[in-house]
Chain A
Amino acid sequence: MKRTPMYERHVAAKGRMVEYGGWDMPVQYEPTGIKTEHLNVRSDAGLFDVSHMGEILVEGPAAEAWVSSLVTNDITVMKDFQVQYNIMCNEAGGVVDDLLVYRYDKEKYLLVVNAANVDKDWQWFSSHLPREGVALRNISDETAEVALQGPKAEAILARIADFDPSTVAFFHFVDGVHVAGIPALVSRTGYTGEDGFEIYVPWDRGAELWDAVMEAGAPDGLLPIGLGARDSLRFEAGLPLFGHEYTDEIGPIEAGYGFFVKVDKPGGFIGRDALKRQKEEGPKRRLVPLRMEDKGVPRQGMEVADETGKIVGFVASGGYAPSLDANIASCYVAPPVPAAGENLWVVIRDKARKGVVVKRPYYSRKQGS
């Protein structure tokens, strides 16, 4: 199993280490646990080791056109040092991966992909390369990354950065800056539904960065956060995860992220025809957010029924939402899809348990916080 540069730090902080996408990662830390870690990110701040994520550099005169041909969103509207959320689809409109696209300029992009998909994505990129005009570099093994998330993130980062983090707008980035003296790329992005930053540094400076951020965050109650809370935070905020809301057969229209799919953008993209058809005719299933009223915890793969008991779908993600103190599920359901306020039932251990359809996100932070 692969280890990030922060591995020793996780063990020292009593992280419970588990295998994730080929990496030995903390699912939680023993002194805190998922619920405490989750709530701490919402109230104060949390630090995540996300060095397992993949980073691919794309350079060359054809970089813009090539990246655009692979992703659903319109990257041609991006400005330099902007970040954009994207989905990379297969021909059938299913998902290869979702990713963040960082634009330096029209001839240089950084793509940040899911840890478990790095090898698959690299193959996908390589098999779709044009003859010339684009050079790719997989810098995943030389790039460590942390996510500093929560309402105190900006104040914490300001203590150790050689730039003013308040000048970095949401979904923008700076490069060539320093954090605790370490050369870094810093973006105002994250996967928690909170304000925050993602900080990329050279692999061999990862542990040093971790220590510096933890120390700077101590007065604000910064805690290290494991993968368990990373998942519950993203789920509560209504953010999709490959392997749950997205699969190689289920894509962004079905998941309700059509906003990120620009089917009429110039030049087209892989999966465009299938997604355009779904947009026009309506997909064969839609993701429905559910909040449980009956007791019991919905889990991925459980069946979803209507009031007659007929099975109409399945659970994509399910679990306890600490900030809501409720159990929630995202369910793929065949049309006609119930509206907010109507009921669906999740079959938990042979018993139908009632939930009410809600609006996504399940949780959103207060304005101005």
Chain B
Amino acid sequence: MAKVPENLKYTKDHEWISVSDGVGVMGITDYAQQAMGDVVYVELPEVGRVVAAAEDFVVVESVKGANDVFSPVSGTVTEVNEALDESPELLNEDAYANWLVKMELSDEGELDGLMDAAAYTKLVEELEAENE
């Protein structure tokens, strides 16, 4: 089954986020990269872009198609992972080590609306059972 680290928060759209001191680091989950297949291009947002929770702000292109990635929370993009520009396949190698965007959160309270590892694991198990 797809990996789900304990210490992260998750969305139903298969993004993860980890927050310390008001700065979030986010990416897509292992389940997401498996479902997408070989990643060939990642379109990252401009630094400084202000996004709302659930707004699409990254596109991950795989051999199968384009996949929108949604911001787990509201905030401002402070940094993007430029290593993915040259090596998008890093997402297939490790979707947690290879983050997409760092952002300053505008409301940390939004984190309470996200899933913890136990809840997300349950979701992934259900989805994987459907695909069996």
Residues of chain A touching chain B, judged by Cβ–Cβ distance below 8 Å, are 16, 27-28, 30, 33-36, 228, 232, 295-297, 299, 319-320, 322, 327, 349
Contact = CB atoms under 8 A, between A and B. Distances in A.
Given A16-B131, A228-B63, A319-B63, A34 B41 contact: no
B64 interface: yes
B contact residues, range: 10 to 19
B63 A34 contact: yes
Nearest to A320: B40
B59 interface: yes
Contacts of B40: 297, 320, 327
B-side interface mostly: mixed
Contact of B66 (A28, A35, A228, A299): A299
The 8 A-B residue pairs whose C-beta atoms are closest, nearest first, are: A320-B40, A35-B38, A34-B63, A297-B61, A33-B37, A33-B38, A320-B63, A297-B41
A228 B85 CA distance: 24
A118 to B, nearest CB: 25
Contacts of B37: 28, 33-35, 228
A320 B88 CA distance: 13
Contacts of A28: 37
B109 to A, nearest CB: 31
A34 B36 CA distance: 11
Given A33-B37, A320-B40, 8 more contacts: A35-B37, A35-B38, A295-B85, A296-B43, A297-B61, A297-B66, A320-B41, A327-B41
Contacts of B66: 297, 299
Contacts of B61: 296-297, 320
